[in-house]
Structure formats: C-alpha cells, structure tokens
Chain A
Amino acid sequence: MTVATQGDLSTLTSKELHHKIVNGDISVMELVEIFLQRIEKYDPQLNAYITVVQDQARTQAIAIDNKIRSGELNHPLAGVPYALKDLFCTKGILTSCGSKMLSNFISPYDATVYDKLNHAGAVLLGKVNMDEFAMGSSNENSFYGAVANPWDITRVPGGSSGGSAAAVAAGLAPYSLGSDTGGSVRQPASYCGISSIKPTYGRISRYGMTAFASSLDQCGVMARSAEDMALVLHAISGFDGKDSTSAMMPVPDYSETLNDSLAGLRIGIPKEFFAEGLDADVAKVINEAVQKFTQLGATVKEVSLPNSHLSVAAYYVIAPAEASANLARFDGVRFGYSCNDPKNLQDLYERSRWEGFGDEVKRRIVIGTYALSSGYYDAYYLKAQKIRRLIKNDFVAAFNEVDVLMGPVTPTTAFKIGEKSDDPIAMYLGDIYTLPISLAGVPAVSIPVGFSDNLPVGLQIIGDYFNEAKLLNVAHQYQQVTDWHRQSPSQFSGV
C-alpha cells in the first residue's frame, strides 16, 4: 500500500529538489517537465488542478535556470515548482475560487504571496481545486468537480484546500499554498498524509487572496516536510502595506531553529480533544505520536480548553456573517458571472448571484445575512464574538502552563465521496478540533503520524501567537526520527 521511495523525484522535498538543481543533477526545466508530465498522467484520476500553466512554467524555468547558473538567484526555493490554491490572484491566469461565479475571472493583479514566490524564483505549475470560496471540508463543493484522495480515490481529500493536499500527496507538486479559515489547510493535509501550517492570524499578507471570513482567513503552507514549510513560510510572511490586517512583527528565519532540542518541551493535551466522537483508532495513533515526543525529552500534561465545544456554533455564525458581507461584491456588474437577459437591475443582481454561487455558499450567505439582520445581530453575531473571546482566553491560559498543545486534526480519517454531501451539519461537526484554533487566531501545524485502515492520520500541534518557529522545530524533530512524512501512495509512484 505505501512506499517510501527516496529516489523518485516526485517524492523529494522542496529542499532536496533545490539541492539537486544547484548541484547540477537536474535543471529547472527538466524538473518542471517531470511535474507537467505527472500532472498529465495522474491528474485525470484526482482532479486536483483547475488550471495548468505549462507555457508560463516552461518560460519561467528557462529564466530561472539562467539566473541560478549566473549566481543571480540563490533563494532556497529557486527553481522548485509549486501549485497555488485557486483563490490567489495571478495576473493573466484564471482565478476561479472553485466557483461558477469566477469561472471567467482573469485577475488584473497578483497576490502578494505569489509576487514573493516569483521573486524567490519559484515556478508556478498551476492553480488547484478547492471548495467554492473555501467553504467546505471535502472539496465536493467545487464548480470544477470533486477531488479524489490519492490514498483512496473513492474518498475525499478534505477541504477546502483539497486540490493542494491531493497534488502534494500524489507528487503533482512539491508544495502548495492553501488558505485556512476554519481548518482548510490542516484538515486536508491530515486526510492526505502531508504536512501543513496555518500561521498566526496576520502572519502572511492576504492581499490578492479572495476573502471568505476576514477575521479568520489566513494563508497556509502545505508541503512534504516541516523543513520545507520553514522555507516557504519564511519566504511569504511579513507585513504588507496592501493588507492592513497583516501583522507588523519581525519574521524569524524558521530554518535556524529547526534543530533545537526538545528536551524540556512542555506538551499540553487538551482533554476536550479526546472526548466522545474521536475515532478509537485515530486516538491510538495520536497517543503513539505523543509518546514519541516524550522519548525526545518532552513532558506531557493534560490541560483543558473548556469552551472549545462552542467553536462549531460560534464559527458557523461568524464565518457566514463575514462571508455574506465579503460576497456582496459579486453583483454581476463589475466582474464575474452575469445572468442572461436580466429584466431589471434587481433581477440582474438576484439571478446572477443565484446562478453563480453553489448551494453551500448560498446557504452561508443566507445564514450570515440573517445573523447580521436587524433584531438578530446581538443574539447571533455579537454573542458569537463574545464566545470567541472565551475560546481565545482558554488558549492564553493553556500557554501559561505549556509550550505547545497536541491533539488530533479530525475525529476520523478521510470519508467517502458523497458520504456527507447531503448533510452540512455532519460536515460542520468534523471541524471540531480545527475551529478553536482559527477562532483564537493561534498558529498550528498538522503532520502525518501514522495510518488507520491504510488512511493517513494527522497530528495537530498548536502554538502560542507568532510562535511558528517552535511548531516547525517540534514537527521537524519528530520527522527526524520517523518517516511517516516520506510515505507516498503507491498508485501515483514512478516518474
């Protein structure tokens, strides 16, 4: 079922690929060709990519080969290909957000993260599939169709960054940028057996990242190792004058602290994350992973996040409320889908939006509009924001006692395509362990720590505000003594 092939280029980390380029073992052009061929061969089974930019990737590869050879470019990501979730604006390339509403949208400008990766010499392979407007936990809510999980193509890859997770897991991109509003990089990374980080709210500029819920949205990195995430996070983080919510905090070199010892690390286990609802086999794998950290010198104690059970309720008010405001911009007039033969202006708005958005997006717009409407604001939105404060305070208290928190990412492994698609409530409840982190705004990584019935299980490691360096250090040390992150689905192996 699983293979840990070290020689296959598609299973190498970004760091290893960059070394091969610099050592002259392979050119950027050859590497890009390999990935383009793999996408052509394997993506029809997965549907991870919405757009593949073959021509641009080849042109960029030639330019970067030259710049590396001339010494003009020495960034650790130079020449390494990657994929972007299709909500990051890319000038001249479709940015669909997985929606019919934007299925004709060619962005007139670049997202800051894309701009930064271009400067680093990274090569964009294409734009990957996602739940429409990042709303979903299975990638079934895409106008471009569901994405398959590379470990079992009858199952979902998770969502909303499902295309990113499937592409990295199947070796169709060494890394990918996703976005995380309530778990959208951590959950698909967990389902697909790859590594991911959702940094602190404000760590990465969101300029050019299509807005879903503005008090929660954050760009995240999905990759093959903690070491790769350190490189990518360093390249894309920092204050941006174009995003007033980006934080004015210095960006440490995350690679420098990866090898710090974990001796004396204080791990907290939130007891609420191991209560009823957690699959017994998943719990077993998580407990074994935590044990491994004690062998590395860490101490473990139980802690409590007493308000975390309220996360689903608070999130499914706050996120839809903010989404309803953000998505008000889609009016059928300035960009995006516009209905045929509108009878009047009202009809133009109402039909463009009804026809352009999918059901989950429309449900959330209605919920959000309701929660913000006259007479209901205090009972819903304000109440949810107060509960959000209580949830945040739980984390602040926990980090007075411990350095990191550990627990599962999801209650179960990846479910079957179609299994929950008619039951939004069941889908929402699956976000129970990722939502508290999003509401508090603290950073978290998810890393693969084993399998349950041949499906990957992810461990969530949660840190204090702006302590991404510690999370990456902890994840890297685990990956130095285990090889779960080096496992790839055999169905997609070989060049």
Chain B
Amino acid sequence: MSIRQAEVVKVAHLARLAIPEERLEGYTHTISDILDLVALMNAVNTDGVLPLSNPLDAVQLLREDVVTETNQRELYQSVAPRVEDGLYLVPKVIE
C-alpha cells in the first residue's frame, strides 16, 4: 500500500470530506493503486527541467483597476441554501 488509512483520514479531513469508517478501506485501496500508477514518474530524470504550469507559458494578464461589476447580491444569494437579511447562514460558530 502506497498510502495508509490514517493518511487517507488526514487528507480527507484537509479536503473537508466526511469519509465514513466503512468506506475507508476501499478508498485507501483505490487511492493506493492510483499512487502506484503515478509513481511511474519517479523513474524519469527531470533535473533542470522547468515545470510547465500553463501550456502556452502564458503569464497572468492584468487590466486597469476599474470597477466592472455591479452589486448583484440578491441574484447571487438566490441560489444559496440558507440566507437571511442578505447574509449566508451557517451553524453557530461562537457560543
């Protein structure tokens, strides 16, 4: 196994996924298989090779700092699960 169950639990938590106990073994197994597959990369010498993050080697475009968006809070909140008085509702964080 390229990855242990404990690591999967940790990573799932980082990714905010509530993985149930009974699915852990299956996930660990499949993810381990995938990591074995990508381990093929390790055999390749990439010393001195620049990483390619954009296939066109493009750099981030900049534009003038001017206002282009208007306030559309109501429209955007119309698709939210729980909204009140223009605010998104979440469970209480501070007692």
**A contact residues vs B (CB 8 Å cutoff):** 104-108, 200-202, 215-216, 241, 244-245, 247, 307, 309-310, 312-314, 316-317, 324, 328, 331-338, 342-351, 353-354, 357, 362-363, 365-367, 369-370, 373, 379-380, 382-390, 392, 424-425, 428, 439-442, 465
Contact = CB atoms under 8 A, between A and B. Distances in A.
B6 interface: no
Contact of A366 (B27, B46, B78, B88): B27
Q: Which residue, of B20, B53, B75, has the highest number of chain A Cβ atoms within 10 A?
A: B53
Contacts of A366: 8, 11-12, 15, 17, 27, 31
25 contacts: A244-B61, A245-B58, A247-B58, A313-B40, A314-B38, A334-B79, A335-B80, A345-B90, A345-B93, A348-B90, A348-B91, A353-B17, A353-B18, A354-B19, A362-B17, A363-B34, A365-B17, A367-B31, A367-B34, A369-B11, A386-B51, A387-B41, A389-B51, A389-B52, A441-B56
Interface of B: 3, 7-8, 11-20, 27, 30-31, 33-35, 37-42, 44, 46, 49-56, 58, 60-61, 63, 72, 75-76, 78-82, 88, 90-93
Nearest to A105: B79
A424 B34 contact: yes
Contacts of A367: 31, 34-35
Given A310-B44, A353-B16, A380-B38, A338 B82 contact: yes
B51 A245 contact: no
A204 to B, nearest CB: 14
Contacts of A365: 15, 17
Nearest to A241: B63
B28 to A, nearest CB: 10
Majority-rule SS of B interface residues: loop
Contacts of A344: 91-93
A41 B27 CA distance: 40
Given A334-B80, A365-B17, A390 B55 contact: no
Nearest to A351: B18
Contacts of A425: 33-34, 37
B52 A354 contact: no
B15 A333 contact: no
B15 to A, nearest CB: 4
Nearest to B48: A386
Nearest to A384: B41
Nearest to A107: B79
B54 A215 contact: yes
Contact of B44 (A104, A387, A441): A387
B50 to A, nearest CB: 6
A363 B54 contact: no
Contact of B56 (A202, A363, A383): A202
B55 A313 contact: no
The 8 closest A-B pairs by CB, nearest first: A441-B55, A385-B51, A350-B18, A338-B81, A386-B46, A389-B52, A369-B15, A313-B40
B91 A390 contact: no
Nearest to A247: B56
Contacts of A247: 56, 58
B74 to A, nearest CB: 10
A363 B53 contact: no
A388 to B, nearest CB: 4
A104 B81 CA distance: 10
A215 B8 contact: no
Contacts of A369: 11, 14-15
A28 B63 CA distance: 41
Contact of A215 (B30, B40, B53): B53
A52 B20 CA distance: 36
